């Protein structure tokens, strides 16, 4: 007999645990514990109802066909610009995400889910590395695909030289299968995209020179790529009956709410980092509180381009409310130590500060990393597909976030920011990932948001 088996047989602890027979599992016994029936799948393209609405500040809309359960949606459009001798198109490291002001899911003109650009950045920072890489390639972040912007070359849809942009919509209905939009039953669902008020973040740079000037880009050929799950008619009817047969369905959903941006001025070079204070006005039940700081002003040099419209490093963060300190000057780069764990096994969960580009330079102060979109995590589990805890902001008195920016330095040592942002105006985004109750009428499929707190 194995010496390990003999030793285990003498263990008082293991003997006690073996008395809990209901919890015992024989891992080598074959059994099917969970199975999803086979289904159909289709990916199709939806054309907008107002295809010409692609200028700054306009809103573009798509009406989803009543077909299946929506699993994911991706916005696709093309960018065009004219040839300009000895010049090339340049954009900030956050890429063509800067084209977007807001994404909405609407039902009978009622907004039921929403994400603005700041919230999209927060959801992007939560993605795994493979998904982040795909997102970055799709929207041209961090110079990915920049060979398309070569000097003195026009980007034209007609000539097949336009820049194609793909942006997955990171809404909660595309995250958990039990929150998928059941378009066959729900009243008509509309997806709307509001473009940024200006496209002046796209500029041109003279080849071989640090010289910048305004450059006009246009957007064309927008469409929505939809991934849909199709069930056999009997299974779809059974699902609808299970969800709505007993009357209106109230379901727990999550959405994003952005606070009013807080403006500040960065410190001078080699000075202590600026402190930014924001009193949170939301009254929601928060599962996560995100924050990130950016310089979204005009840029006129390579140095300024490197820090423009991208997340900047933060030194520390505090959260206080009702006279108590909830987070006390936590070093921002170590927020992962205070983030989600799993409820039991697999104790260490997802790190709270996103990912770095590579391990050897993980905190070198280089602007633009997803790690510099920070989040204070309230939930207990590393899964975002169920509720594992929240903080009700409504009952708190003056919940206040205090953020100290990293010191500006030429050296690029740990916990420093690049000096291109010295003394420039910046803004801090605070985004609340919140819980809510959504109700679907069992007779009409009408969707309403019932309660946010």
Q: DSSP per residue over 71-125, as a string? A: EEEEEEEEEEB---TTEEEE--TTGGGGGEEEEEEEETTEEEEEEEHHHHHHHHH
User: In whole angstroms, what is the distance from residue 446 CA to residue 305 CA?
Assistant: 46
Is pLDDT above 90 for 371?
Answer: no
Higher-confidence residue: 117 or 334?
A: 117
Nearest 5 degrees, angle CA 71-CA 74-CA 76?
160
What pTM value is reported for the model? Answer: 0.88
Parallel, antiparallel, or unpaired: how do β-strands 416-417 and 407-408 relate? parallel
Of the pLDDT bands very low, low, confident and very high (cuts 50, 70, 90), residue 48 is very high
pLDDT of residue 382: 66
pLDDT of residue 355: 43
| pLDDT per position as a tens digit, 373-420 | 998 988 877 676 678 888 999 999 999 999 999 888 765 434 455 667
pLDDT of residue 344: 54
Is pLDDT above 60 for 363?
Answer: no
Q: Coil, helix or strand for 147?
A: helix
Parallel, antiparallel, or unpaired: how do β-strands 425-440 and 447-451 relate? antiparallel
Q: Pull the structure tokens for residue 154.
A: 């026009």
Residue whose C-alpha is closest to residue 446's, from 176, 73, 106, 69: 106
Is pLDDT above 60 for 357?
Answer: no
C-alpha pair distances (Å), 151 with each of 70, 160, 205, 214, 357? 41, 17, 9, 15, 27
User: In whole angstroms, what is the distance from residue 101 CA to residue 99 CA?
Assistant: 7
- Most confident segment among 53-62, 249-258, 376-385, 416-425: 53-62
CB atoms < 10 A from the CB of 17, how many?
A: 11
pLDDT of residue 359: 39
Rounded to an integer, the average pLDDT of 232-250 is: 84
Rounded to an integer, the average pLDDT of 128-133 is: 86
User: In whole angstroms, what is the distance from residue 356 CA to residue 352 CA?
Assistant: 12
Percent of the chain clearing pLDDT 90 (strictly above): 39
């Amino acid at each position: 007999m194995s010496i390990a088996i003999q030793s285990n047989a003498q263990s008082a602890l293991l003997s006690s645990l073996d008395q809990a027979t209901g919890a015992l599992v024989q891992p080598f016994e074959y059994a099917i514990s969970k199975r999803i029936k086979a289904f159909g799948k289709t990916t199709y393209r939806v054309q907008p109802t107002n295809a010409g609405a692609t200028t700054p500040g306009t809103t573009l809309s798509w009406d989803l066909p009543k077909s299946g359960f929506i699993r994911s949606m991706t916005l696709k459009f093309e960018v065009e610009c004219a040839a300009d001798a000895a010049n090339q198109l340049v954009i900030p490291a956050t890429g063509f995400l800067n084209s977007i002001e807001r994404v909405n899911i609407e039902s009978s003109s009622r907004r039921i889910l929403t994400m603005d650009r700041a919230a999209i950045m927060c959801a992007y920072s939560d993605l795994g590395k493979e998904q982040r890489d795909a997102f970055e390639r799709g929207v041209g972040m961090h110079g990915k695909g920049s060979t398309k912007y070569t000097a003195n070359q026009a980007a034209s849809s007609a000539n097949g030289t336009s820049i194609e942009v793909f942006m997955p919509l990171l809404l909660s209905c595309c995250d958990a299968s039990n929150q998928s939009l059941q378009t066959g039953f729900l009243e008509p669902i509309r997806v709307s995209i509001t473009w940024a008020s200006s496209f002046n973040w796209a500029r041109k740079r003279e080849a071989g020179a640090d010289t910048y000037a305004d450059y006009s880009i246009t957007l064309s050929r927008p469409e929505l790529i939809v991934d849909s799950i199709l069930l056999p008619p009997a299974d779809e009817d059974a699902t609808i009956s299970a969800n709505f047969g007993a009357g209106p369905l109230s379901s727990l959903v999550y959405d994003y709410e952005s606070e009013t941006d807080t403006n500040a001025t960065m410190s001078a070079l080699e000075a202590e980092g600026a402190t930014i204070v924001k009193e949170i006005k939301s009254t929601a039940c928060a599962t996560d509180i995100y924050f990130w700081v950016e310089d979204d002003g005009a840029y006129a040099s390579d140095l300024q381009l490197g820090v423009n419209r991208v997340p900047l490093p933060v030194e520390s963060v505090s959260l206080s409310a009702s006279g108590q300190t909830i987070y006390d000057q936590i070093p921002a780069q170590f927020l992962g130590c205070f983030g989600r764990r799993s409820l039991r096994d697999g104790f260490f969960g997802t790190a709270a500060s996103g990912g770095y580009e590579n391990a050897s330079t993980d905190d070198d102060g280089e602007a633009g990393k997803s790690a510099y979109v920070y989040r204070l995590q309230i939930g207990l589990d590393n899964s975002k597909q169920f509720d594992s805890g929240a903080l009700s902001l409504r009952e708190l008195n003056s919940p206040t976030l205090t953020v100290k920016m990293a010191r500006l330095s030429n050296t690029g040592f740990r916990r420093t920011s690049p000096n291109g942002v010295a003394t420039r105006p910046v803004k801090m985004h605070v985004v609340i990932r919140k819980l809510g109750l959504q109700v679907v009428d069992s007779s009409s499929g009408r969707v309403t948001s019932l309660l946010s707190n």
